[in-house]
Amino acid sequence: MSRIAYVNGQYLPHNHATVHIEDRGYQFADGVYEVIPIVMGKMIDENGHLDRLWRSMEELQIDEPMKRRPLQLVMQEVLRQNGVDTGLIYIQVTRGVSRRDHPFPAGAVSSLVMTAKKTSLEKSEKKAEEGVAVITVPDIRWKRRDIKSVSLLPNVLAKQEAVEKGAYEAFQVDEDGLVTEGSSTNAWIVNKEGVLITRQTDHNILAGITRAALLELLEKKGIKFELRAFSEDELHDAREVFLTSSSSYVQPVIKVNDKMIGNGQPGSISIELRGVFKEYMEN
Ligand code: PDD
């Protein structure tokens, strides 16, 4: 089945799907996006993702390209036309096309693009069983990381450094030595005392939908956690480390920079929470 992309009202062969050279997303990274997981035909946390998409648009005063209900119908159609049963749907909204000039253009019409791709649960499972390495990098991003903007250059540079060092992800560290989040994931630790910790949400990190869903599951199960920033030293000394995102779900981390975490195997709490989240997605 060949891939199909949705671009401003049209379903096009993926290879021929294009936007205008003066789209503000292309010229100014003036746009927002979402990545939503689909697992065995079920969209995971669709409402949370769409709430966040609308919030990102509102924060940047980008007009909605269409109402929420028709957008959901386009999502369904993109999944259907791409035959995606397990995978990811990508939604991007930009401020639209206009002659290049920094201020918001009067009368520009927002652009909407959607693509979908298949992913493999087996591959994800294997990675989770093995665990992954992360590196730490300075967080050089702007101060509104809560907005899911397509302006991702620092994230791209961080991930590239991780890949070049043989790692899966880069955890970013702020000027105070506190971990903010991964380049495309949220960061979690179980500290030396056995306390589960992830950073509180504010302008410093993206409010991950996977993170929020897992926190809700923890509450339901009566598993305690702390919402606070943890330092790079705490990360290195942690008993367990893991990360969450729409594409990684819950992924155990076994190495930070050159240091093994615990005994170099995925930790028991990380494995348990991966299972809890998997069950949540599958049911
Ligand atoms: N990334 N932090 C950042 C900076 C992210 O880009 C993401 C998501 C997350 C996790 O959020 P969620 O659980 O809602 O996926 C945290 C997506 C997957 C991406 O850019 O591909």
Residue 129: phi and psi, rounded to 5, are -70, -35
Q: Please classify residue 86 by burial: count the beta carbons closer than 10 Å to its beta carbon, then call 0-12 exposed, 13-18 middle and 19+ buried.
A: middle
3-state secondary structure of 80: helix
Give CA–CA dist 54/66, Å, rounded: 11
pLDDT (tens digit, 9 = 90+) per residue, 62-104?
999 999 999 999 999 999 999 999 999 999 999 999 999 999 9
Is residue 185 within 6 Å of ligand 1 at its C-beta? yes
Q: What is the pLDDT of residue 223?
A: 96
Q: What fold characterizes domain 124-282? A: D-amino Acid Aminotransferase; Chain A, domain 2 (3.20.10)
Architecture of domain 4-118: 2-Layer Sandwich (3.30)
Q: How far is the CA of 211 from the centre of ligand 1 (A)?
A: 10
Q: What is the pLDDT of residue 1?
A: 77
- Atom of ligand 1 at shortest distance to CA of 155? 4
| Residues involved in catalysis | 148
96 token code pair: 């639209």
Domain residue extents for the chain: 4-118, 124-282
Task: Pick the residue whose CA is nearest to atom 5 on ligand 1.
Answer: 184
Q: What is the pLDDT of residue 29?
A: 98
Domains 4-118 and 124-282 in one fold: no
- Atom of ligand 1 at shortest distance to CA of 209? 14
- Atom of ligand 1 at shortest distance to CA of 248? 18
Q: What is the pLDDT of residue 282?
A: 94
Neighbours of 242 (CB within 10 A): 32
Give CA–CA dist 152/141, Å, rounded: 9
Is residue 34 within 6 Å of ligand 1 at its C-beta? no
Q: Which residue ranges in the chain fall short of pLDDT 50? A: none
Contact call for residues 257 and 236 (beta carbons, < 8 A): yes
